[in-house]
Structure 1
Amino acid sequence: MGKSKSPIKLDDRIHIIDGFDLGVSERTGIYVIDEEELTLVETGPSPSVRYIKEGLDSLGFSLEDVKYIIVTHIHLDHAGGAGLLLRECPNAKVVVHPKGERHLIDPKRLKQGARAVYGDSFEELFEPVVPIPGEKLLVKGEGDILQIGQACSLEFLDTPGHAKHHFSIYDPVSNGIFTGDTVGIRYEQLVQDGVDLFLPSTSPNQFDPDAMRTAIDRIQAMNVDRIYYGHFGMTEKVEEALRQAAEWLSVFEKEGHQVTAEGKGYDELAGRMLYRVKEYLRTLLIEDEHPVYVLINLDMQVSALGIVDYLQRINK
């Protein structure tokens, strides 16, 4: 197996399992909430399922113990493994946003979209994408509640911006919120260098900057103590995280308008976005050869695609 490592304990009831998405550590996390109804948040893609099984085993749980598998949205790096995992969790249901339900039942369009972005790497990174029977899905929308313990009622918030099929999940016990990609990405690889970096995720094809700002503002107004990111880990620096996400969103959007006005494409935009991030991180003494750039470079490529797609949509 080689890569697997022990789940990270965040507190007495929440752990995070590293799913080694893209074959990289600290990229996509799967959260385990230890309540009366054992609950997972996210699955990562199907290649992550083996790490989920190992992680649950190391925590003393069986696959039969799993009652709910919540996916913040249906992009394959968050939900692609849900069908495969569900096959081995006989007592579980998958909780999904109303606009994501049909795509988990029939993932054909999801696969087409991911294949368009990831090309020849699609098979290795995401297959198999297993359909989920409708009776195994539980749909939750704005304001809905999921009782997973006597003292824990998870609340669902409709938080588009990154995608229309995206919700966030408020956990009252930790006063924390699972945000998927709505308020961006946290780079765990930089934390060891004393740097907290939070960048928005503007991937295609439903990116909407106004909706993303609304989601950021909404979460800021909730005064939560923690944000649990899909990519990757938890922060208690909530104000800083949301401020950075909003500021970088404006930077990236401005660069997108400039590139479009010049008649150039997403490659140019990705390069400019990467340059702006590198310029900032240099001021914090992060070298250009830092391993984090493997991920940041990919994120800028995908986010540039989303910004160009958005600008084309609004300029039609």
Structure 2
Amino acid sequence: MSAPDFIQPLDHGITVIDTGFHRPNFDAAYLLISDGRAAFIDTGHNAGVPRLLAALAFHGLGVEAVDWVIPTHVHLDHAGGAGLLMQQLPNARALIHPRGARHLINPVALIKGAQAVYGAEEVARTYGEIQPIPAERVLESHDEMTVQLGSRPLRLIDSPGHARHHHCIWDATSRGWFTGDTFGISYREFDGPQGPDSAYILPSSTPVQFDPQAMRASIERMLQTEPQWIYPTHYGRLGNVPDLAAQLFDQLEVLEHYALAWARANPGATDAQREAAMIELMRNILLTAANRAGSMLPLLLAEALLETDIRLNGQGLAIWLASQPTADTPAVP
């Protein structure tokens, strides 16, 4: 039986599932299988749940084979479908970062936070009705925690930078990290002549917990394992990990430098002025970096595909900048 077009089986018992969120090859969930047992890492939104179950059936497994549902963090494009998925999986436990667990047990605050960013109508249209996960089925992760999937160990580390409720998962079997958004975002439309081996990757600074120093530290920590692969949610398996990290470090350095310089030059700026400036800064830096990485997309198409990231990343950068001493006060001698 051939795989549906939204399923990409890889080696090491890993399958990439396109959740169908936003556009093709935008939002991935991952199915891991070991010794007949299964885990999902990230879930996408409610509308993606049938695809996850179809991937399970494609591999000849029933819903009772799933032991773990592991959102990397609780943003709705990663965990919006977790509650609905858990309703279909009688034996699964949800393994969630301790800062995010309460928000999937009682998603009211999570929904309000998303509404503040996207608007209530857009959240309802895009994500549907977010289902809670019963507290007794939730296990909170901790730094350097290891859980078993069959005979396969999965190691979790606290990985702030994109969000403080973020953990990443090390899979020694494939020598890869499931990185959520901490190790950046990479869209296949931007691949250079060598495909994913010449990928463009960008840091994700979406509201409201972006921290460039923490992001660098989390990436550096993952690099210590000398990974062969990363598996970001946006999108799919990527190699050439040192090159990807170098791209991220370069963009973070440029963003931080120019954002702080703008703040020093505009000490009386309003929140609206700061946000507008950071969106334009983000636009220039991301498009320049894409071109430098070898993307062959025309500028207008590249800008259109990155427009949402430019806006949200700029908003997140502005929120971070407002928290820095140089944003509103002179630097201390």
Superposition TM-score, scaled by structure 2 size: 0.88
For these two proteins, the number of residue pairs brought into alignment is 310
Aligned to 2:299, what secondary structure does the other structure show? coil
Letter in 1 for 2:113: G
Question: Which position in structure 2 is the counterpart of 1:251?
Answer: 254
Which 10-residue stretch deviates more, 119-128 or 140-149? Answer: 119-128
Letter in 1 for 2:275: Y
Aligned to 1:202, what secondary structure does the other structure show? coil
**CA-CA distance at 1:282 after TM superposition:** 4.1
**Is residue 2:273 matched to residue 1:233?**
no
Instruction: Pick from 296, 301, 304 the counterpart of residue 306 of structure 2.
Output: 296
| Aligned 8 A contact 1:46 1:81 in 2 | yes
Question: Which position in structure 2 is the counterpart of 1:274?
Answer: 283
Letter in 1 for 2:315: L
**CA-CA distance at 1:130 after TM superposition:** 0.7
Instruction: Find the aligned partners of 1:272 and 1:314 in 2 and give their Cα distance.
Output: 17
**Is residue 2:192 matched to residue 1:181?**
no
| Largest Rg, 1 or 2 | 2
Question: Which position in structure 2 is the counterpart of 1:308?
Answer: 318
| Aligned 8 A contact 1:72 1:180 in 2 | yes
Per-residue deviation, residues 165-199 of structure 1 (Å, max 9, x unmatched): 11111101111111111111111222265441111
Question: Which position in structure 2 is the counterpart of 1:98?
Answer: 98
**CA-CA distance at 1:294 after TM superposition:** 4.0
Aligned to 1:184, what secondary structure does the other structure show? coil
Instruction: Find the aligned partners of 2:10 and 2:303 in 1 and give their Cα distance.
Output: 26
Aligned to 1:156, what secondary structure does the other structure show? strand
Per-residue deviation, residues 102-131 of structure 1 (Å, max 9, x unmatched): 111111111111111112311111121111
Aligned to 1:40, what secondary structure does the other structure show? strand
Letter in 2 for 1:306: G
Question: Which position in structure 2 is the counterpart of 1:28?
Answer: 27
| Aligned 8 A contact 1:73 1:167 in 2 | yes
Instruction: Find the aligned partners of 1:16 and 1:257 in 2 and give their Cα distance.
Output: 38
Pairing of 1:97-136 with structure 2 (within 5 A): 97-119=97-119, 120-136=121-137
Question: Which position in structure 2 is the counterpart of 1:138?
Answer: 139
1:305–1:144 Cα change, 3 Å: same
Instruction: Find the aligned partners of 2:29 and 2:176 in 1 and give their Cα distance.
Output: 15
Which 10-residue stretch deviates more, 183-192 or 24-33? Answer: 183-192
Per-residue deviation, residues 58-86 of structure 1 (Å, max 9, x unmatched): 33232222211111111111111100111
| Aligned 8 A contact 2:6 2:19 in 1 | no
Per-residue deviation, residues 30-59 of structure 1 (Å, max 9, x unmatched): 101111321110001212212222332233
Which 10-residue stretch deviates more, 55-64 or 302-311? Answer: 55-64
Identical residues among aligned pairs (%)? 32
| Aligned 8 A contact 1:101 1:139 in 2 | yes
Per-residue deviation, residues 138-167 of structure 1 (Å, max 9, x unmatched): 1111111101122x1111111111111111
Q: CA RMSD in A?
A: 1.8
Aligned to 1:211, what secondary structure does the other structure show? helix
Give structure 2 stretches of 5+ with no counterpart: 329-333
